[in-house]
Structure 1
Amino acid sequence: MKTYLVKLTPLEPYFFGNEKTFLFRGEKNQGQRGNSYYIRSERTPLQSTLMGMMRYLLMPYRDHRHYEENAAVIGKESFRIDACDQSFGVIRQLHPLFLMKGDRQYIVTPFDAKPGQETYIPFSDYRVIETDRGEKRYAAEYDAKRGLADSYLCLADGTTVDADQIFGTETRAGNRKSSGSDNSDSFFKKEYGYLKDGFCFAFYADLNDDAAIPENGRTSAFLGQGKSLFSVEFIEENNTVADDAARYIPDDILYCMSDVYCDEAIDDRCLFAVIRDRDYRTYETGRDGRIAKGSTLYKLIKAGSVFLTENQEELSGLLQNADCRKAGFNCIVSGRKTRV
């Protein structure tokens, strides 16, 4: 087995979709902020998107007529988050997405970070409260007006970079075909994303020795709803991201380095948690090459979420999922830094 650093550099603005759909006049807004005809790209691709890209780049034939030959190399089916014992051929495992600038690696800053700091400084002043679910804690230092930190943590020196210094947006107008004489509802805006100042996406991939890496380790791929062009680079090297991250995380914290799928209640197992979520739906490619939208909508715990618990082993075991880990989901890091 060989481990590769895979770097993805967008060569044009990208659009990574989500469950939000366009809303037009007369339709309920459902609490979305801003104009009802506005839709925004996600900042980063999902792990399943990365798995789909890797399967495409490594399959020997680029058409559905050679299904059996391709299946022998990259597996018979697309990744499904609720599936068991899936195999992806020469792809042993993907690891969580992170960002790079030069040789520096950046992960999502844990969500218990105090905003406005140049380094990751977690909440430390907890107040104990009694609830119907037992004893819980809340962070006395949390300021609802400032909200949560939105930044990335540099694994080289522990400094943080605000997300708005990394991600930019570009708004494009479009229109849809109108069935009536009044086409005022036909226009919409899509907010595409791009990376600023030399940043790129990156992840590690464990592959069989016989995996056919692109010539010279370089190729390109189209990703996202707009089929945006990305350059792809494969570099064989060891993966130390999780170990490097653990050096900055307090030893009583579990940190989600990737998005996490968990279908069990975890509230009762936490004293304190800071969680963001994102919608997720699977898409499957049939033998004829057609893509079908899955019927089930899942909620994922977003990368950067943290859990404070008295029983890390029990909670970590609940969040671990070997099948999800194959695509880079459900990577849980136990902190190793002693709280001051």
Structure 2
Amino acid sequence: MRYLVTLKPLKPFFFGGDITFGELTKNSNYLVHSRLFPQQTAILGMIRKEILIQSKLLTTKRQGEWVDDKSSATKLVGDTKFSFNQEQNFGVLKSISPIFLIQNSNRFIKKVDIDSCTYQKGLLKGYDPKKDIYDNYISIDTKQTKNMSDIFIPIEQIGIKKNSDKKGYFKKTSYLLKDDFQFAFYIELDFELQKSFITLGAEQSMFKMDIQKSNQELDYYDKNGYLTLLSDSYIDIPIRDNCEFAITSEISFSFLVNKFKDNEKVFKKHNKEY
């Protein structure tokens, strides 16, 4: 079965990846901004957990969470974390689409506003550095466009104490969604998933999850022939050697290693893009 899943934030959300306050480690930071979208691997983990809960295979207590019938749980959702290095079986869960935004039935994807410029001979003609062309969104249904401030409300939290034994200034920016916007994705699974309240993100933010059956696809064709990536993508070839022109950004990704915790994978920034 194929479903449209929508997630409505019930309070400010914070999607941090591996950049959070936490304890004082190399990944901790005093000034942090939430990512605007959850990573697909976070959605994968949330859905697997929710399937176990709705199947009454996950026991949740104050002491923690555990699975008593591991054999049934493995058949239902698999037993490994996400990995780039091998094909994996996640049981009843067959596929998850890129995450997008939806306002009523109007679906928005993130798309660089390249149409406001003209690309010719290695240059963007008409580009204004004072105008943000990166954080922009387009409806694949109506072609309506919006910028980041039309959709996201920043919520800032400022403090002067990072932990119990060391004082320090910190500033955290979470977000809310405006005007009935919600996160959404399509999912294929052999399971009657029900609506629920779920937690997601670095601070376990609460979301209302609604489910409806759908046969729609998340398709987008750029009229100028640009290849538009609809989600974070792992590209294992040097982009600069294989593209005449690209607008990209890099992110850190915390799920490159799973089973073999002692084997570190080092990805060189100069020839790998995420």
Tell me the TM-score normalized by structure 1. Answer: 0.68
Which has the larger displacement, 42-51 or 165-174? 165-174
What's the CA shift for 1:125? 4.0
Runs of 4+ residues over 4 Å off in structure 1 = 21-24, 283-286, 292-302
Alignment of 1:61-210 (within 5 A): 61-62=57-58, 63-80=66-83, 82-114=84-116, 123-126=117-120, 128=121, 137-174=122-159, 175-179=161-165, 183-185=166-168, 187-208=169-190
Query: Partners of 2:143 and 2:85 in 1: how far apart?
Result: 37
Once residues 258 and 233 of structure 2 are traced to their aligned partners in structure 1, the CA distance between those partners, rounded to angstroms, is: 23
CA shift, 1:145, in A, is: 3.4
Amino acid at match of 1:67: K
Q: Which residue of 2 aligns with 1:334?
A: none
- Partner Cα distance (2:44, 2:232) in 1: 14
TM-score by length of 2: 0.83
- Counterpart position of 2:2: 3
Instruction: Give the distance between the partners of 1:293 and 1:142, measured in 2 at CA.
Output: 46
Give, in angstroms, the shift of residue 144 of structure 1: 2.7
One of 214, 222, 237 as aligned partner of 2:199: 222
Residue aligning to 2:226: 253
How many correspondences in the alignment?
A: 257
Deviates more, 1:276-285 or 1:226-235: 276-285
Q: Is the 8 A contact 2:153 2:178 kept in 1?
A: yes
Show the counterpart of 1:267: 240
Equivalent-residue separation in structure 1 for 2:78 and 2:273 (angstroms): 27
Distance in 2, Cα, partners of 1:294 & 1:51 = 23
Q: Structure 1: which amino acid aligns with 2:114?
A: D
Query: How has the CA–CA distance of structure 1 residues 75 and 145 changed in structure 2, closer, same or farther, with 3 Å as cutoff?
Result: same
Q: Which residue of 2 aligns with 1:282?
A: 255
Structure 1 residue ranges without an equivalent (≥5) = 31-35, 115-122, 129-136, 287-291, 303-340
> Residues 282 and 294 of structure 1 are in contact (CA less than 8 Å); yes or no, is this contact kept in structure 2?
no
Does the aligned pair in 2 maintain the 1:107–1:152 contact within 8 Å? Answer: yes
Q: For 2:108 and 2:254, locate their aligned partners in 1 and report how far apart those are by CA, in whole Å.
A: 27
**In 2, Cα distance between the equivalents of 1:148 and 1:251?**
16
Aligned Cα root-mean-square deviation (Å): 3.0
The answer as to whether partners of 1:279 and 1:297 remain within 8 angstroms in 2 is no
User: Partners in 2 of 1:110 and 1:103 — Cα distance?
Assistant: 22
- Higher RCO structure, 1 or 2 (CA under 8 Å, sep 6+): 2
Cα deviation per residue 1:87-116 (whole Å; 9 max; x = unaligned)? 1111111001100111111011235242xx
SS state at 2:91 partner: coil
Which structure's CA Rg is the greater one? 1
Matched AA of 1:254: L
Query: Where in structure 2 are there 5+ consecutive unaligned residues?
Result: 59-65
Quote the sequence identity (%).
26
The one-letter code of the counterpart of 1:46 is: Q
Q: Report if the CA contact (8 A) 2:257-2:264 is conserved.
A: no
Match of 1:240 in 2: 217
- Taking the aligned partners of 1:139 and 1:294, their CA distance within structure 2 comes to 43
* Equivalent residues of 1:111, 1:274 under 8 A apart: no
Q: Which residue of 2 aligns with 1:231?
A: 208
For residues 273 and 176 of structure 2, what CA distance do their matches in structure 1 show?
24
Equivalent residues of 1:95, 1:205 under 8 A apart: yes
- Please name the residue that 1:52 is paired with: 45
CA distance in 1, matches of 2:147, 2:193: 35
Amino acid of the structure 2 residue aligned with 1:156: D
Q: 1:294 to 1:96 in 2, by over 3 A?
A: farther
Asked if 2 retains the 8 angstrom alpha-carbon contact of 1:282 and 1:293, the reply is no
8 Å contact kept, 1:76–1:88:
yes
Distance 2:262 2:12 in 1: 24
